[in-house]
Amino acid sequence: MIGRFQPFHNGHLVLVRQILKECNEVLIVVGSAQSNYTFANPFTAGERILMTRMALEKGGLDVSKIFIIPLIDEEDNARWFSLLLSMLPPFDVLYSGNNLVFALASPHKEVRTPRFVRKKQYNGSYIRKRILRGEGWSNLVSDAVFDFICEIDGINRVRLLAKHENVESSKSIELQKGYYRKW
């Protein structure tokens, strides 16, 4: 299962639970590991690894069945899947609702489409915008994630980055930055 986890939210948690019903173990891949301190990627790979682990534990999941692995980006899409194979323990199934991931991975592995829950709210971009605008977002993430983001002063970080990048209309920023990411 692959994501940027900016931040790790309840939709991700639902997904992990769902996969653990079908598989013995889950590999959670923290994508765009080299990106941080931007509005689209405010948190470092290390921070995202930690918030993911804490959300899993808080959610009562058995972390001994879960691997959390950071992965840097690869511009050559045709080579992206080989990066997964090099950096991850052997795996059998890939869970993704992303068409590009499907196109790149399905010649090599089974790809299953997960059932997403509350896709509009459980959405990293949506959550970052709520943080930016001072709207409530604590119900969209694990308590552990919320507390950790507060502790590292993440709310001010998100706002500072939005200001720095002239994010006025959140729509335009997504079009500009995020639109051809794999996740």
Interface contacts to a copy of itself, rule CB under 8 A: 33-39, 44-47, 49-50, 53, 57, 63-64, 67-70, 72, 75-79, 81-83, 85-90, 98-100, 103-104, 157, 160-161, 163-166, 172, 175-177, 179-180
To the nearest 10°, report the CA torsion of 83, 127, 142, 149: 80
What is the nearest approach in angstroms of a copy of itself to the Cβ of residue 172? 7
What is the nearest approach in angstroms of a copy of itself to the Cβ of residue 143? 18
What is the nearest approach in angstroms of a copy of itself to the Cβ of residue 129? 17
Which positions ≥6 away from 101 have C-beta within 8 Å? Answer: 2, 94, 111, 182, 183
Inter-helix orientation angle 154-164/143-151, to 10°: 70
* 58 versus 136: smaller Cβ distance to a copy of itself: 58
What is the nearest approach in angstroms of a copy of itself to the Cβ of residue 165? 4
If one counts every other C-beta atom within 10 angstroms of the C-beta of residue 92, the result is 9
